[in-house]
Structure 1
Amino acid sequence: MSLVPFTRWPEAFAERYRRAGYWRGEPLSQMLIEQASTQPDTVAVVGGRSSLSYADLDRASTNLAQRLANRGLGQGDRALVQLSNQAELYVVFFALMKAGIAPVNALFSHNRLELVAYAAQVRPRLLIASRAHSLFTEDAFVEELTELIPELDTVLLNDDPHPELRLQSWFEQATALRSFSPTPAGEVAFFQLSGGSTGTPKLIPRTHDDYLYSVRRSVEICQFDRDTRYLCALPAAHNFPLSSPGALGVFLSGGRVVLSPDPGPASCFPLIAQQQVNVTALVPSALAMWLQAASSHPEDLVSLQLIQVGGAKLPEAQARRAAHLLGCKLQQVFGMAEGLVNYTRLDDSEEHVYLTQGQPMSPDDEIKVVDREERPVAAGEVGALMTRGPYTIRGYFQSPEHNAIAFDADGFYRSGDLVCQRPDGYLVVVGRIKDQINRGGEKIAAEEVENLLMAHPDVAQVALISVPDQAMGEKSCAYIVTHDPSLKGIVLRKFLRGLGLADYKLPDRFERLDALPLTAVGKVDKNLLRRRIAEQLTVTE
């Protein structure tokens, strides 16, 4: 089968990145093989009931890769994976890397709508999911997927009662009937998920070369090593806790990943104390929960040395409180699954750590901050962020129309962020151009939710906007024009759930209008709606 098609870096850039030593021609699975060889008995990951050494992780992933190869799966095939924060997620990830199978790693919070959209795009031959998810407690959704995707011929389910379907059974040694190997390092290793503003989820093809460089450089900046004990509190499939430096950075360094089922203090604090965790990554809404609970559990947090915060802008006041209450270093992280990652450095001044979102991590990250005509603005002025570099993609998967908008003719990615770049190179995030809501680090495309609400027979018009929220950063408010004045928000939430929308995408608030306000060119005036809700909130406070 042919390899996954994707938009490649122009050869001149690729050669430059190879000469600079960024791209080394290694597969992502190589880090695990090396650690299993040099320190096989060292604990690699602790999650739930599982504790796996590097040898265990390497052996289980090799066994799974072999069994998949025996089924005829290999290079050019694709997989849809949805697992929670559990050690099996990493066994599956490394197995697929070893076997040359490119997965989409859906978040456990994703529901029918998202999984169907991902499956329709990648046409997977393999589905790996969990009976613990509501979609898979029965077999109806699996049957629906196999009808939609005739290529889907292998289904493995975590904790399934039947051995032939149970994922864990496939971790056992198998007879080597067929050979397997990773895809070449310059080819697609897996797909990340875009938090973009359009209704259809966009998939981000990441190669071994570019992603491994991102992980390796992150490890250098964040100083991970064999003593690193990393708490993965955010959804493990997210780009941030996977690669910045995340779990892959820990495995590259030979440290230990400790998995928490959620980022709440009740789950995380005992794990920090028990496993002597010294670094973790949070979004601002989770950090806010930690700050409220920290004074009651100071003994649990003694081992913490570094907390990274990203996914949404961290307010200065919260940054200062974090450093004071948690007694450890704070690092701001501003990045995107498409590539570019910015860090404040561990030896930065308080001004940089509290007031900026860091600077690009690679010497070859190219940054432009531009006005509406895409002319560069002066240092310190607000403009739209554009970027390209050795780990920033050149195009979304099979999305030529969107790519024409998202990338310019020179390959610069239009991130949709409004930033200002200080004279010292550090970035300050001001806001977004994209019509997107950042709810505690989870990105919600307004268009997607609006289109689903419009499917309700009593909804005539709808506009979804962001609402400032102290805990989550932003929440969502749906302004609706209805045919039925008695229509309640609870009914619309139930309707959206029935369509399979993830819970975090459900509008937090509904407001009714006789008509939506329009701009001079006839578009819905969301700026006016944002001002309206801000005034409402001010009056009620």
Structure 2
Amino acid sequence: MLEGVVPFPPEYAKLYREKGYWQDKSLAQEFHAVFEKYADRVAFIDRGRSYTYSEIDQATDRLAINLLDLGLKSLDRVVVQLPNTIEFVILYFALQKIGAIPIAALSSHRYLEVSQFVALSGAVACVAPDRQGDFDFQDMIRRVQQQNPGLRHGIILGQAAEGFASLHDLIQAQPAQDAKARLQAIHIDPTDPAVFQLSGGTTGIPKLIPRTHNDYAYNSKTAANVCRIEAQHVLLVILPIAHNLPLACPGIQGFMFQGAKVVLSASTRAADICAAIQDHGVTHIKVVPALLIRLLNDPVLSQYNLSSLKVIQSGGQRLQPEVRALAKKLIPSAFIQENFGMGEGLLFFVRHDDPEDVRMETVGSPVSPDDEVRIVDEDGIDVPFGETGEMWCRGPYTLRGYFGVPEYNKDAFSPDGFYKSGDLMRQHPSGRYMVEGRRKDLINRGGEKISAEEIENLILAHPAVKDIACVPIPDPDMGERMCACVLLRNGATLGFDELKQFLANKEIAKYKLPERLEIMNEFPLSTFGKVSKKKLREMITAKMEGEKENRNAAAS
């Protein structure tokens, strides 16, 4: 097993095998059967072009061999920053065929995040577009390589500069005829990671989530079963493709296990989403509430035939009942399926046959019979039924430890292996689960989790700042946005634009930038003398409500 991965205890591994959850096959073996069984069916549509399962299989064979010839090997880690294109799919399955491990980064990540991923994982390669707007990924990769000599390869989608390999060329180049034999000779341990998902964490340093071949295949298969995915279904991928939800819950993997079709979209514009649904007979979409709200409020919605849409799956943050009701009114053909999941593993889904109150008020129940869920108080003691507490979990597809951080894992997991999620939940009278907030210090901006501590540490480096607290503030579109509450040094000043530029110079993803600045004289304190972020949130929210009332009064 790869050093740094925390294994499942032998007695649990034995149980999961006996119950058939783990098949002891690599994802390459799992999808070899899929590619053969559905060879002539259309698997993907990207920018108007269709790709059959057989064509994906052949393209991934070529790329896999060419990556081996480039110098990659089993268990090598590869940072992947590709957008929603067929090249991501081909790369993902090519890496599975050689046993290399993709790190599911985003194209919005910048130097600070990518350098952390490389340092944490010991990655040997980065795969990225040539540019995104005015941002040059190749320049970023060169700088990361200067600090991390083990990062030997930069692979570029687009125009590859000198010293970089072209992903297009690696996909197209015909290897020798022994491609299948060479790939079949590679041994991949199904208890090793198939992919590293990313956790925002609360420490300011990202955590790598090792998802093994055994658990990730089961994750997708059981989610597909719960979601009733069938061969005639068509998934439209709008969310970032590397995220756990669109990749595997059931996502691309779950739809492929059923021989279904996936349409890829790099656009989140309402008109583009509606056109894709109409043109390709899309039956399923995955959204975060902010995206769904934007879609429902766009007047173009009424200009398209969306009757093929059967399921709108919402995750990332709680979907308000009012939004669910509006979606049902405007797209009556669709079942609005609430889910709650995490890159670490555990998945909750509302079922199609759940009662109305369960569908409207809860995130459903876990997908596996052997998902173990506890709702506990601050001392780790189970709370009475119906009361709120922190959700702890373990099961056949939930990690037993983050990669390479044994000291952090001591706090993040109970002695008997339950993952302490930091999410606050309670049980509905039906026994299903309701999300009540979180204990972790995170801002949930449209489904993207931002570590408050990460941004606080960066802001503290500003010479004008004496102390800082970043808190979530409510937002009707994104759910939450970040407010930076600042105490200034004597005589210092700090403007909002100045703060944003200071953070931009730290080269972080734009979605992490604060969207409000509050200069304060003091912070409210808890009874223990700590900064009370709860009181800060209440103060800022009340101030925002007052500002809204003043605007309304002025307008009238």
Q: TM-score range by the shorter chain?
A: over 0.9
Residue 454 (structure 1) aligned with residue 460 (structure 2): yes
Q: Is the 8 A contact 2:107 2:128 kept in 1?
A: no
1:370 and 2:376 matched: yes
5 Å matches for 1:162-201? Answer: 165-172=165-172, 173-175=174-176, 176=178, 179-180=182-183, 181=186, 183-201=188-206
- Please identify, of 126-135 and 227-236, the stretch whose mean Cα deviation from structure 2 is larger: 126-135
Gaps spanning 5+ residues in structure 1: where? none
**Equivalent pair of 1:465/1:530 in contact (CA under 8 Å):** yes
In the alignment, the residues of structure 1 paired with residue 492 and residue 142 of structure 2 have an alpha-carbon distance, to the nearest angstrom, of 39
What RMSD in Å do the two structures reach over aligned CA positions?
1.8
Aligned to 1:502: 509
The match for 1:266 is: 271
Shift of 1:51: 3.0
Partner of 1:338: 344
CA contact (8 A) 1:228 1:256 kept: yes
Partners in 1 of 2:28 and 2:256 — Cα distance? 10
User: Per the alignment, in what secondary structure is the counterpart of residue 382 of structure 2?
Assistant: coil
Could you tell me whether the CA contact under 8 Å between 1:100 and 1:189 is conserved in 2? yes
Aligned-partner Cα distance in 2 for 1:302–1:236: 25
Matches within 5 A, 1:80-479: 80-133=79-132, 137=136, 139-161=138-160, 165-172=165-172, 173-175=174-176, 176=178, 179-180=182-183, 181=186, 183-293=188-298, 296-297=301-302, 299-327=304-332, 328-479=334-485
Deviation string, structure 1 residues 256-291 (Cα, Å, up to 9, x no partner)? 111111333122111111111010110011110121
How far the C-alpha of 1:3 sits from its partner, in A, is 3.2
Q: CA deviation at 1:294?
A: 6.2
Separation in 1 of the partners of 2:273 and 2:137?
31
Secondary structure of the residue that 1:496 maps to in structure 2? Answer: helix
Q: Any runs of at least 4 consecutive aligned residues in structure 1 with deviations exceeding 6 A, and if so which?
A: none
C-alpha distance in structure 2 between counterparts of 1:505 and 1:453, whole Å:
12
Residue 525 (structure 1) shift: 1.6
Of 360-369 and 286-295, the range deviating more from structure 2 = 286-295
Shift of 1:100: 0.7
- Return the alpha-carbon distance in structure 1 between the equivalents of residues 300 and 57 of structure 2: 40
Range 315-324 or range 281-290, more displaced:
315-324
Please state whether the residue corresponding to 2:257 is helix, strand or coil: helix
* Amino acid aligned to 2:452: A
The more displaced of 26-35 and 195-204 is: 26-35
Cα pair distance change 1:270/1:13, threshold 3 Å? same
Q: Distance in 2 between matches of 1:244 and 1:49?
A: 25
Question: Is the contact between residue 129 and residue 136 of structure 1 (CA under 8 Å) also seen in structure 2?
Answer: no
1:163-183 deviation per Cα after TM superposition (whole angstroms, max 9, x unaligned): 972101111221258934362
State the Cα distance separating 1:331 from its structure 2 match.
Answer: 0.6
Change (3 A) 1:294 1:404: farther
% identical equivalent positions: 38
Deviates more, 1:150-159 or 1:327-336: 150-159
Residues 112 and 135, structure 1, Cα contact 8 Å, conserved in 2: no
**1:381 partner letter:** E
Q: Is the 8 A contact 1:365 1:388 kept in 2?
A: yes
Counterpart in the other structure of 2:554: none
Tell me if the contact between 1:31 and 1:251 (Cα under 8 Å) persists in the aligned partners: no
Go from structure 1 to structure 2 and tell me whether the alpha carbon gap of 1:462 and 1:131 turns closer, same or farther (over 3 Å shift).
same
Partner residue, 1:521: 528
Shift of the alpha carbon at 1:416? 0.3
Letter in 1 for 2:94: A
Query: 1:258 and 1:4, CA in 2 relative to 1: closer, same or farther beyond 3 A?
Result: farther
Kindly indicate whether the alpha-carbon contact (under 8 Å) linking 1:97 and 1:182 is maintained by their aligned counterparts in 2: no
* SS at structure 2 position matched to 1:300: coil
AA aligned to 1:174 is P
Instruction: Structure 2 unaligned segments of length 5 or more: list them.
Output: 549-556
Cα pair 2:362 2:428 within 8 Å, conserved: no
- Judge conservation of contact 1:440–1:474 (CA < 8 Å) in 2: yes
Hey, what's the Cα distance between the residues in 1 that align with 2:248 and 2:134? 28
Structure 1 window deviating more from structure 2 (528-537 vs 360-369): it is 528-537
- The alpha carbon displacement at 1:38 in A equals 2.5
Contact 1:261 1:267 in 2 (8 A): no
